[in-house]
Structure 1
Amino acid sequence: MTDFGLYGPGSVTWKVHDEPILFVAGLRALILQSLHPRAIAGVAQNSDYKSRPAHRLEQTSDYVITMIYGTTPEAQRAAARVRGIHSRMRAHDLFTGEEFRLDEPELLRWVHVTEVESFLTVARRAGVRLTDAEADRYFDEQRRGAALLGLDPETVPGSVAEVERYYADMQPRLAMTKEAADTLFFLTWPPMPFKLGWTPVRAAYLGVASLAIGLLPAWARRFYGLPGIEAADPAASLSARMLRLSLLAFPWALVRTPMYKAAMKRVEDAGLKI
């Protein structure tokens, strides 16, 4: 029997993650994650993302692609590597000075939820047609990846309504810290490689970063001291739709990753269609 991994053809996950605009979702998730004081402390005190942003982005992208399109053993090995890294890392609370582990369930859950919610939200607001039932299914499917990271799936929101309640419950624990502000600035204005700092590439990236911020929940924008009026949401959605249409004109088959191509080959060999 063909091993399609954690999800496979017919899953909402494959439908959502076939969209190139999800790179905007990755940036949105990082900005949102930074509002959790312990989450951003863990990153700031253990990561070299500022000195090697491209390396960090590549690692994260490889992990997500492996979890989505890899075989079950490949996904298990990728998750085991991440668990091993997190289990060895410690950081100090910004407010109490208390030392904590980076694999605390609350932190793992926060990173997981903000990531998958960002993927789904950006896809829907960019025009990917998903029913409410499919949106719920996506969150439920993503519990499989959360379980591999060491979370009890029953403690992970598995529907749109559960994610909304989770965010409402988490907001009293969030804060606009110096580290969060620093991360927002870095993600909006990072160093450009290959001396591209004062070229149209900078302007294009700034547009993408602005879109990621515009697609944040209104309550998250307010934490950052930005306009949190929901009347601005339609403009961000329109920009996302326009970007998606532009991206779809690119021949993405030429730059698909080996992991994605291997998954599609398994589908073809099984005589299935997506």
Structure 2
Amino acid sequence: MTDGNRKQQNVSLWRRGGAPTAAGPQDFGCYGPDSIAWKLLSHSVVPAMTVQVTALLQFTHAGMSANMIDHDPLFEAGRKGRARPDMFVNRHRRTFGVVVPAILGDQATAGRICTHLRHVHRNMQGVIPRTDTPYDAAGPELVLFGHVTLMHAALMSYERAGYHGLRPPSRLTDAERDRFWAEVVPFAVMMGANEADVPRSAAEVEAFYESCEADYYNFDLMLRESLRSVGDALRPSRWRHPVAALTVTSLTLSHFLALGIIPPPARRHAGIPAGLDPVIDVLFHASRPAYAVLGIPAVGDALVSWMVGPDSTDLIANARRLMEVGAQDTERCAA
């Protein structure tokens, strides 16, 4: 395979409908360099950990887990004994890498990505196991749940693990949190959520989770399918690609680290007793130096490039440049 073909193959893992166009002064997309959304997505820890945290928030939801069990190719392959390490790894990498252009690209790019994702989800319907309750991946209810959990995962990853040099992570101010939730409303609407239902503040997000409380069940089914797929991908016969197999193991372990990022109520949904919270918190704090390493450009940028691909890596670099220019302009005005 030539270098050009290899690069194209790598790009195709994430690219949907052509190369994205970076946001810029003529079209900052839905957000822009002054947004909290850009601040979060431009930090290395967010692309590195958001998928793991999102999984922990979503796998315990009956409708979301039913959709993944029924329609995700990885779970289907696991049931047939055909799961491969690269399937698991690539599924993980493209989950967030496909979304980044919708946040850091121009408006046309955002619209194209959301249209593609709606098209993918349009035929994902079924009935939640053990019930007669239907689910619809393209329906406004599951779209809204997916939006809130994805954005919440990005926010929590930044607040809990986003080092800035030697400065440890810190919580955004209440005003910044509310601003973030208001900023990302357009993404939810473009994905198919009802605009009137989309939370616009941290308080509304909390109320949304409370409204979903009855929807957390059947986690045992999701856990069984997940373990089956991972176990099948890691069978000795699959170790012909040792790097991919080791990567599956590392990604699986990173989900356990992510338990320290999610809040206690989310742990309860996964059946983790409150008595284990102190243990989880101690282990998470012990692992935090590993997150600090992501603040080293050579390390963090390399991981981001591997995780979300060359297109999103370029978009993140572009966003950082625009944010830096904006900060310099603000300083000049203040002077």
TM > 0.5 fold call: yes
Q: Say which is worse superposed, 242-251 or 29-38, in terms of deviation.
A: 242-251
Q: CA deviation at 1:96?
A: 2.5
Does structure 2 retain, via aligned residues, the 8 Å contact 1:125–1:240? Answer: no
2:325 paired with 1:272 = yes
CA separation of 1:242 and 1:153: change in aligned 2, threshold 3 A? farther
Aligned residues: 273
CA separation of 1:34 and 1:203: change in aligned 2, threshold 3 A? closer
Q: Secondary structure at the match of 1:19?
A: coil
Gapped regions of structure 1 (runs ≥ 5):
none
Residues of 1 paired with 2:251 and 2:221: CA distance? 22
2:198 paired with 1:156 = yes
Q: Secondary structure at the match of 1:103?
A: coil
CA separation of 1:226 and 1:253: change in aligned 2, threshold 3 A? closer
2:303 paired with 1:261 = no
Deviations for 1:118-152, whole angstroms, at most 9, x for unmatched residues?
Answer: 11112111215522211111111111110110112
Residues of 1 paired with 2:255 and 2:232: CA distance? 10
Q: Say which is worse superposed, 100-109 or 9-18, in terms of deviation.
A: 100-109
Does structure 2 retain, via aligned residues, the 8 Å contact 1:176–1:223? Answer: no
Q: Say which is worse superposed, 189-198 or 52-61, in terms of deviation.
A: 189-198
Q: Secondary structure at the match of 2:274?
A: coil
Larger Rg: 2
Q: CA deviation at 1:59?
A: 3.0
Residues of 2 paired with 1:202 and 1:260: CA distance? 22
2:292 paired with 1:245 = yes
| Aligned match of 1:61 | 96
Q: CA deviation at 1:265?
A: 4.5
Q: CA deviation at 1:243?
A: 2.5
Residues of 2 paired with 1:268 and 1:250: CA distance? 14
Deviations for 1:99-125, whole angstroms, at most 9, x for unmatched residues?
Answer: 442212111111111111111112111
Q: CA deviation at 1:84?
A: 1.4
Deviations for 1:25-58, whole angstroms, at most 9, x for unmatched residues?
Answer: 2112112211111211111111112432233223
Q: Secondary structure at the match of 2:187?
A: helix
Does structure 2 retain, via aligned residues, the 8 Å contact 1:70–1:263? Answer: no
Q: 1:1-274 counterparts in 2 under 5 A?
A: 2-22=26-46, 23-50=48-75, 51=83, 52-126=87-161, 127-128=169-170, 130-182=172-224, 185=227, 191=233, 194-196=241-243, 204-229=250-275, 230-232=277-279, 234-235=281-282, 238-239=285-286, 241-251=288-298, 252-253=300-301, 256=305, 257-262=310-315, 264-265=317-318, 272-273=325-326
Does structure 2 retain, via aligned residues, the 8 Å contact 1:38–1:93? Answer: yes
- Measured on the aligned residues, the alpha-carbon RMSD in Å equals 3.0
Residues of 2 paired with 1:217 and 1:269: CA distance? 33
CA separation of 1:135 and 1:89: change in aligned 2, threshold 3 A? same
Residues of 1 paired with 2:263 and 2:107: CA distance? 33
Q: Could you tell me the percent identity over the aligned residues?
A: 23
